[in-house]
Structure 1
Amino acid sequence: MAALRTALDKRKTGLSVVFTGSSQSGLKRVFSQRDAPFFNFATEITLPPLPDAFVTQQLKAFHETYRGRVAAETAQAAFEDFDRNPLMFQIWLNALPLNGFDDAAARAQVTQQMAETGGYDRTWLDLSPIQRAMLRLLAEDVPQPTGQRGHDFLKALTGASFTTSQRQKAQKALAQRHLIDNWQGHWHLSDPLLKAWVLARPDRDFT
């Protein structure tokens, strides 16, 4: 890493670098720890979500290729339900012709493809019931996950009451597995595809 830092410093007038990582908190430590090779090397930025024009552009290209038509309202709803994730939206769009332009069937294919590609079904089986419930809570962006609102959400979802200590322990376990991350004081799922997959799970999977 030190050699990479030196090489980048030598070329800083003609080279731009973008750093990404699977853990946002881990990535921040690379630039915040004084003994790290990349201390104060980069500036943190948050990219804005794709605008609605992305859906318009994708539909235009789709209609130039396929004879079937997709209503703009249906496409926009799918985009929103997929948390405005471009990859998931494109998987859904490409799945429509293969499923007779059935929205529900195409969405089911997206869920299945994500599970197979990301191994989410195997990950799910390795989690305890409270860890699964906490994953759903964080996917829903419920505030105060270890506070009263978190308790009430899990009670409604699972029918069980989990103590603050139990929820904190489950949250820590999810973080250690790199399934969740803390960004600007807010816990969220590290993988947006996993988030959509968790949100698609029926409530019966949490009881």
Structure 2
Amino acid sequence: MRKRFLHAAALSLVAVVATSLPAHASTAPDVPRASTATTAVSNYVSSPLSYEYDYSLGSSFFYTGESVMSGAARTFLSTFPVPANCGSYSQLPPAQTPPVRCNLSVGPLWNPIAVVSRTTTSFGFLSLPGHAEGADRNIRFTFYRTPTFELRMRVEGWGPWTLGAATSISTGVVNTMWQTYANTLRTEISNGRL
């Protein structure tokens, strides 16, 4: 099912991007460029092309934001909704300078990202040139537990306007992808495997 979803999402994104604009339309408003791949994920900036989603990972007295982050990092290559190739790393690479580059595969498309931040409760990516959503887009995943012991994952995305980003956000592809990740982590948590 995961392969079918990824394939359908990739085809949908390619089809929408290919047919969205007439040849004379501008593909980007005048928006300043974000940081380069050697800069850590900055603070979230709300804009028309930003998003913030919050997903439930279930309830637990035993797990915390820190333990979910630790498990998400350890199981990254098997739980992330997009197949990732991070070179010699078998889990989420550390944030370092220069940042570790990973290639995320969506159908036939490779989407290069850099792991630019990693804390005890979060990790962040920066899209690189060649990514379907364009370069310099930030995505941060944060894990936390509420006072009522509900585990949550917040996903924030922001950066310069690109047609790929606008399309994947407006069609719901991004929300569906991160919901899939939350569902996978919730299953891993409920089965005690995270």
TM class by smaller structure: under 0.3
Larger strand percent: 2
Please tell me whether Structure 1 or Structure 2 has the larger radius of gyration of its CA atoms. 1
TM-score for both structures, normalised by structure 2? 0.22
If asked which structure has higher relative contact order (CA below 8 Å, sep 6+), I would say: 2
Larger helix percent: 1
